[in-house]
Amino acid sequence: MIRDAQESDRVALVALLEATEQIPSVYGAEGLDGWWLVDEQGGRLRGAVRWDWGRPECWIHVLTVAPPDQGTGRVGLRLLQAVAAQARTYGARGLVGFARADRPAADLYQRGGATLEPGYRVRVDLRQPSILMRS
């Protein structure tokens, strides 16, 4: 189930970021800074995304998926779809973030309609059809 992060998620969120080699303090996890969505199943956080509202584009700061759930293309995709839906409602025309093109998630981003630009920038135009649009 994808939902807004809550205060009670803080410890699990920090553990998830650490398990995926992210630095929790960089992303504001300790204070739940910014906007966070989590994917929870059976009381376990399977993934999380942090972003900031913006126009014309919303910025994704971190997208992380628990190691046992990586590689399925489901958890990360569902989180990105949820952010994209909220961003469109807000009036944003795109999503922007950074990712390394040599990581497995780069394929997910490209399947989602993203372009990988020099300097690790990932950009998705929310006005174009893509798998980020829920059916």
User: Is the Cβ–Cβ distance between 14 and 6 less than 8 Å?
Assistant: no
Fold entry, domain 2-125: Aminopeptidase (3.40.630)
Asked whether the predicted pLDDT for residue 47 surpasses 90, the reply is: yes
What is the structure's pLDDT at 118? 61
Which pLDDT score is estimated for 135?
44
pLDDT tens, 50-102? Answer: 888 888 888 888 888 999 998 877 898 899 899 999 998 889 988 888 766 66
Top-confidence residue, 27 or 48: 48
Per-residue pLDDT for 12 more than 50?
yes
Contact 2, 82 (CB under 8 A): yes
Let me know: does 76 contact 65? Beta carbons within 8 Å: yes
Q: Which helix (H) or strand (E) holds 115?
A: strand 115-117
Taking the C-alpha atoms of residue 31 and residue 21, their distance in angstroms, rounded to an integer, is 19
User: How does the average pLDDT of the chain come out, rounded?
Assistant: 81
Neighbouring CB atoms inside 10 A of 14's CB total: 16
Q: What is the pLDDT of residue 5?
A: 92
Return the pLDDT at 46.
Answer: 95
CA distances (Å), origin 66, targets 32, 43, 45, 131: 18, 13, 7, 22
Torsions phi, psi of 35, nearest 5? Answer: -105, 125
Quote the pLDDT of residue 31: 63
113 vs 48, more confident: 48
